[in-house]
Structures are given as C-alpha cells and as structure tokens.
A and B are shown apart, each in its own frame.
Chain A
C-alpha cells in the first residue's frame, strides 16, 4: 500500500464549497430569529455622557436595546488578555477593563456602545440610527511613536504603557558592540494591517430556556477556547451548558482567534430575550473592529566584524496594541517576536526591548505570522544593509552567519532542533538563476525599468506550544491539542480534532495521517471539528500548530488504537500481543503469518462474543469499543525555515513596483500533502507581498480609520503577481511524531523583507512599507536613483 504521507490527495472538503453547499455562520437561520445591529463609537476617544434610546426603542420591529449599563448591571465580564507579560521593573503588565459594551468611555472608532435587536436586520439598522449618543470628545492618541508622551487613555496606566519588556543579555551585547568593527543602524516601521478574511465575522446566540442550554454559532478558529473565555471570564453561561459551534469558516489569519464583543453580546442577549440573536458584520465593521495586525516602530543595530561575522544585535521596539489588550496581543510583540529576531544566524549576543502602548485605534493582535513577520522584517532588512555596507554578496553574508550545527541553543530562548539552512539557500539560488541576475537587470534597464533583487532567509517558531514552557512565561492556558479517533463497528473511522480548519484542508491532511497509520481507505475516514459538543476540548488553530500539535495528537491516538488492536488480535489469532505486527491495516501474528484486518478487530471490539459464524470474544480485561483519545503536548516548538528570493522592476517615472520573479524554498519538515502546502505558501507569500507593496491601515490625526473599505485598503489581486516558484528541502522536526514543522505562516513571514530588499536594491534608497508607487517615486525624487550593483 502506497504511503499517504507526502501524497497529493485532492481535498475531501472541496465539493461542498464548489457547489455552494458550504455552511458558514451567516448561512444559518434559526426559527424565531432576531437581528442585532451594533451602535458604534464615531469618535476615537470620548467620554460617554448619555445614551438616549427613547426614540430607537419605539422604532418599528425593535425588540430590545442593550447598553453598557445593562452589561455592567449584570456583571458581564470584560474581554481578556490571555498572556501576562512582566515588565523589566518586575511589575505585571497593565491592562484596562474591556467591557463588551462601553459604559463610560469609548476608545476607538468602532468601539461598541449599544446593540439594537429587532425583527429584521433593516429594522435593527434603522433603529440604531435613532440611538442618540452624547459624547465629550477628547483628543485622540493615534501615533505609535508618540503614544507614551501623550495624554493617558486609561486611568492608572501611565504613559499609555502596557508593559516594558526586555529579553537578552544587555552587558554581553554592549561588549559586542564595543568591540565591533562596524555598527549598522536602521529605523523601521512595520505597517499596520487589517487581516481581511473574506468571510466577515458573524455570530448567532441561541438560548433554550427550558433546558438552560446556550449555543453560540460563531466564526471562530477555536470554539473551545472561545467558550472557555466567554464562560470563565465573561460569565456568560456555565461551560457544561454552553455549546460553541464554528461551522465552515471563511478564513481567519488570526483575526478569528478572539472571542469578540459581538460574541459575548449576542450570546448573552439571546438569554435575555429568549430568542436567537444573529449578527453578521458588514465589511466596514470588519475593518473597524476586527483585530488589526503589526504596527511596530523599531530602531535596530547590528554589530559586525570586518569579515562579515555578526556579533551582536540591539533592538528597541514600540508596539501599538490599540485601545485594549486583546487575547494574544501581549505575547505577539514579545515571545512570538523578540526571540525570533536572531533569524537563521548564529548571533552570540542580543538585547531586545519592547514597549507596548495603548492608542485610540482598534485592538492589534496576532495576524498571520504574529510577531515573526515583524522579527524577520528587522533582521532581514538590517542583514541586507550590513552586507551592502561591507561589500559582501547577500548570499555569502548570510551563509557566513548561518547556524550550521543542530541542535542549536540560541542566545535568547529557542533551542533549534533541526535545519539545513545552506541547503535551502543554495536551492533557491539555483532555481532563481541568481548568477544571471545582472543580465536580467540590464534587460530591464533597456526597457527603462530599475530591477532589484532581495533575499529573505527566515525562521519561525511554530507548533505552538509546549505548555510547561508557555505557562512559565505568562500564558493563561496550556497549548496542547486533543484528538479522538473513533472506529465505528462497520470499520470506518470518525476523527475528532480540537484544531479547526478554515481553509487549511484538515479534513484531508488529517485523514491522510489516519489512513497512513491505520491502513484505512481515506474515503472511510471523516474528520470532525468545530463543535464543542462533539470532540474533546481543543485549543484551536493558529501559529501553524494544527499539524505539528493537532496532527501529532491524532497520530498518538492512532497508536493507542493499534496498541489495543494488538491485544484483541493476539487473542483471536491465539498469540501474544508482543508477537503481533501491524502493517497496512493488518494485524499479523509473526509465528503463523495469520492475520486479522483492522476492520475485523473493530467489529470484534463492538460485538464481543459469538453470533453465528462470527467469533470475536475479547481477551479478559479488555473493554469493548475501539476509540482512543490523545492530548498531545509538544516537547518543543518546531522551527520551519527557508530562503525566499524576490526580483522587482520599478518604473522610475511612476514609482510603480512589480514583483517579476519570486522563488521560495522552504523546509517544513515532513510534508503530508504537498498540494495543500503549496497553496498555503502561495497564499502566505501573496499576503506578504501585499504588506510590502499595497496594504496599509491608516488612521488620521482624529483617529478616524481612513482605510475602511476595499476602495481605500488595497488588497492584493490576481493581476498583481507573477508565477511564484516554490520548492522544498526537508529536515524532519525531532520534537513531534510526524516530523512536521508547520507551513501556514511562512509566506507572510518571509515575503515582506524579500520584496523590500529588492525594492531598495532597485532604487538604491530606503523606503517604508507599503512601497506604493507614490512613496517609491518620492523616494527616488528625494534621494536620486543611486546606481546600486550594476
């Protein structure tokens, strides 16, 4: 039987999506359903002096209007930050209360003030316009760099400082800098982005007063985690009476990790009015109130020797976390960021300082890559500059500094188990035809275009995460994953996973793992996820963890099935369990070569006894049934790495920049389904190119989001890209039974510096993301085109 691992299996889930039979939250309609519309703040920072609902209450179709006073009266808890960061002075981070409906003050445009519930959406929307909110408008604090010198947004949080985090050895790093031959410096801004999953967020609260059961249908990447947060901290409903269902979800990219105000309010409101309450975001609401991503300003310095060896790294970052601290907002710019700034390089000393600030903007949290794109952008931009300043080839400079022995204990946090960095760099150089770049540059010049080349050799920490490690550094939960593999009596298999698929193709990849381990045909395996009433508690999907952690849990559960199967087979074949081999779905007694198929064993487990010709008594002490659960806690993070090389052409008359060639060679460890991995890489790279060239979330000085529609926020579109070439090298992860490292975020992590280094190479001068035509044209105009390499 051919192995299913590494096989390009077409996706089991595709047909429903291709024929319009997907079932997303907005597609669900319940009997007696009502519609919610949120009244949102139109000001970035204001005191609420009055919320007058008298007119709205009388509007046609209105059932009920709730405000922050109602939420406070019922003692509904605020939305939480799930990861405690300790500042360098030893004090805990400072976070404000974040009520689902604001009571006294609003802190960003889009902040929730009231919810209008009506018989129809139109009636709810119309009545919401009649809610009259009186504000005392205050000066908005918007700018990341100035936030600490501005008025205090939240009482008791001086300088708007959430935390002042440090990592590394300051003294050793200072020594490296004092003995350096050259110090390279760079100031960088990592532009603020809006995740923009194509399915807008939605939720339906559905309370059954007779059974006291509450169901929340929601667009979530992690239904169990949302239930836990809403139950334990929101106090919405007891966990055992609370079901959260995340059905088909149309993309997440991090933005659907968090339990949002709308989840809490619709769930709670359905209890109050005893009818289902449905809310579906308009796209403008998604722009305003989905968690945004990135938004750092950073000063970085690199100490190097004349031979190109890096000896030290210093980083000062201000991270904007928006108006409130969202669920993973505090870990994203700290532990997901700072340790990764070392990149693929053997850097003996580093010192990182991150100050996280509150501003009157939407909360900023994990977005595809979460901290690692920001880290990679820093190190790859400054490495590019360093190589240029000492006149070394970009590939050579990197190669000289690559870690080349594994395991490798980095000077900050991570112990890298495996990798072969020169292998993927060499392969990328070959595929991208690096040696002939100069010819291509000359060709471009003939057409009046400036051509540049940029490298990004990146690492990420995925497979999030070993519970003992993350809980020791402030995480409020363990980050294991669960799986249940359940044989049915007829020999087919139901697999329950705590991970959630919203585009990643788990139905197929996970089935491949089970099929491979248990020798069951893939069409006889069904993967079930996204419903707290079905599988065991799971932590969900983010941080490229589903395969490395969730897939490993599935593999472990399969191993337990085999273990039990051996006992049953031994009894039926009249041997000992230790004399049974399991191969391709057969349990074989070594001495006699007699065998039982796994279907026969499953049948025996469910029908233990004799019935006609069927003889399947179980051995003494073995329980009937064939179902195993595993909670897998990884022993380490996994460390995908790779080399991306980008070439751009810039029209110097207009500043328009086009990616004309893009090569990615990644090491994701063991690949289960190369077709799905390829899709993840394509999508990630395009999002990364989007950050570099097109996308930007912009607030004006008064805190109005000026990029709140697809007419103002530039999404990458089909005509923006060339064919992307991708390939792999493989060093299996040693930290999990599959050897997989994770692939979902790699493209978004690697691409921005590859593109920006190429743009800077082309125009010979610095420019910030996104490198729009206007910015590139202005940069050329201001600094003149400096003839780079050619």
Chain B
C-alpha cells in the first residue's frame, strides 16, 4: 500500500477511535479535508524581505499587502473571505488601488486569516500563504505543508527559524518541506547589472553550506520586483521603458545613477516625473536599468521581454523548485502533515484504544519508503553518508532528489519511450543490487544501496 493510502486509512481509523470527542473529531476532519487539497505553501521571512512581492509574482497579480495571514487559493472566480474567530467567514469585496488588487478588509480591525480565491494557473497545484513577519514558526507551519523561507544572506536568526521549523521528531525524519529563497537578489549585487548572476552564485554556495543544507531542500535566488514586473508589465509601462532605452547608453546611465536623479527634475526626455516615479516604484532602479539594457539588446517586444525577465529574475527557477520539491511530492508532504497532526492528537488526548494507531504512526514514520528515500537524500547531501562521487550523483537522482518522475529519476533529459526507460531501469537495478550485496562495501554503503534498489523495484511495475 502506498504511503498516502496508509496515512489516509490511519486518519479514518483515528476518526473512529475519537468519535466521542468533538475537539479531536474537528481536528481530524479538518486534516482529512486538507489531505485532498493542493499543497499549502507558507511564504515566511523577516519583515520587509519581500514576502508579498514573491507571492504576487507567483500568483501573477499584484495585491496590496495585508497585516495577517493571506491564503491564495485557486478558484473559478475572484472572491475573498475573512476568517475571524470561530464564527462563519465573511465575504468581502476585492477592489483596485492603482494597479493593485485590494481586499476590502476595512470593517475588520483584526482577522485570523484572509482567504482569496483567484483564478491563476499557479494556484491549480498549490495554495500560497502569505504570513505576517511577526508570526512564530509554529503559527507559520501550523496550517502549511511546505515552507518558502525568504532571506537576504543567511543570518543566525534565519537559521534559528528554520531549525525550529524542523524541531519535531517527525519533522526531523522527513525534513522535506523547505525551500530557501535569497529574496531581493537585485540588492545583493548593489544594483549592478550583473547582480542577478552573482546572487545565483551565492545561492549555489549556500546550497553546499553544511549549516544551511540540512535545513532546506534547495536555495534559489529571486529578484522579487523584477519577477512581479515580468508577470504584470503593462502596455504603457513598456512604452515608457522603450522611450527610455532610446536615450544614449551613457546619458541614461548617468541619470540612472541614483533613484533621486532618475526621478529628479533635470531629465533629458519629456517624461512626466510622476511616470518615472511610478516606474521606479514598480521595478526599482535595478529593474529600470536591466529592462532598458534588455530592450537595447533586442528584447524589444513585450513577449520577448517578459520571457527574459521571468528567467533572469529567478522566478522560473523558483517555480521549478516548487514543482519538483513540493508539487511532485504532494503525497509525501500531505502524509507528513497528517502524521504530524495525528502525533499532536495522540499527545493531547492519549487513549487506551488509540494504542494500535500510535504504534502504526511510529512504524510508518520509521519505515515508509518515501521517508527513507528522503532521509537518504538528506544523509547524502549533508555528507553523513558518503558514496563515491559518480555513485552519489546517481543515487541522489534515483531516490528523487532531482524530481520524483521516472524520467527525472532515471536521468533522461528527453521523452524516452517505455522500452528505453525499462532498460535503463533494469541496468541501474542490477548494478545497485550488486552494490547492496558487495561484502567489501561498508555498512552505510550497503544500506544506501538497498534503499536505491527498493526504489528501482518500486519503479519497475510502471514499465512492464
């Protein structure tokens, strides 16, 4: 039986055991409901790090920031609800403020959470949760299955947050739910035109940093403003930017030296200061520099430019990361959340007749193959288990560190046919079986090889 089926039946069984306790039933029902939903991803980080900006970029629309938890769910029409206390949610309107959407929460001075239903492609697979910066790790992770953690440079405070996010026995055995984001990548490079590539390099360094690596699955860099710009660039803005780029490079550079100069009175072009100010606010000085440079380089249509911006801002990489680490692992993440919820329940209301379930929980956490794969990934990446270099790469790929689809596991970069896949799989299986039985290898090696073999065996039925 697969992990998600096992955990689902455990949830149902727990509902039976605890049917006389209204609190436990409500808790279990909410988790059973959540089990079938898309992955919930919380976006967290210190204040003014750009949480809302990243959420906007991912949703593809701009919203005014709110000072509470805001959930963005996929939906057929635009709706918003305010949840406040135990009562029923209140539906509120969504208006426009400038170029941004604004959820009209004026009548509520405080709210537990605001849920926005929004038709967007990204939201088909995920639910995004924008968190206030003062929220504790427990609050942030209470409702979320996965975490996007935003930071500039990795500082002690950030590590503390991530550590406390992993500070639970079950969370530790399945530390699969975090992707760290170097937000404001444009500012990392002090606004230079090559800032984004150096931000990418820094992200790569953190990926290998032993202090950061065990705490998250991946580190990516994102220039939030640019990413939003890529998704929401308007006709008039594009026109204004084209006009700007028609100016001589030297001359424009001079006026792009500082934000003050750009928005100042002495500008060689007849362009309203208000328009320039608006451009600055939307894209930042770095955004204006990069976009004008790109237009000059020949990305002079809006479509071309948007493509470039998505790629350069790191939004593409972030989306890929979400897809590989969260959406593809939805079942594991959901199972993990449900197991955590069951654990909480067993701690809060221990019962004699829940003994069997508690034992089941322990067994699943200790033995589910998905978790074993993830533990192996963590062990290999953190260097606890060391394999020879080429084996290490292959092992990581096979157990799904680069994606859990068979193609990704077998390392095909093109759509291979079933026969080819089967051959590659059998080849890998035989080699790893030999390694698992190798008497000269260390215990750790054989253990790792056994897990890889089990993975390969699990894949086999799909191709026969």
Say whether A and B bind each other. Answer: no
Interface residue ranges, A against B (CB under 8 Å): none
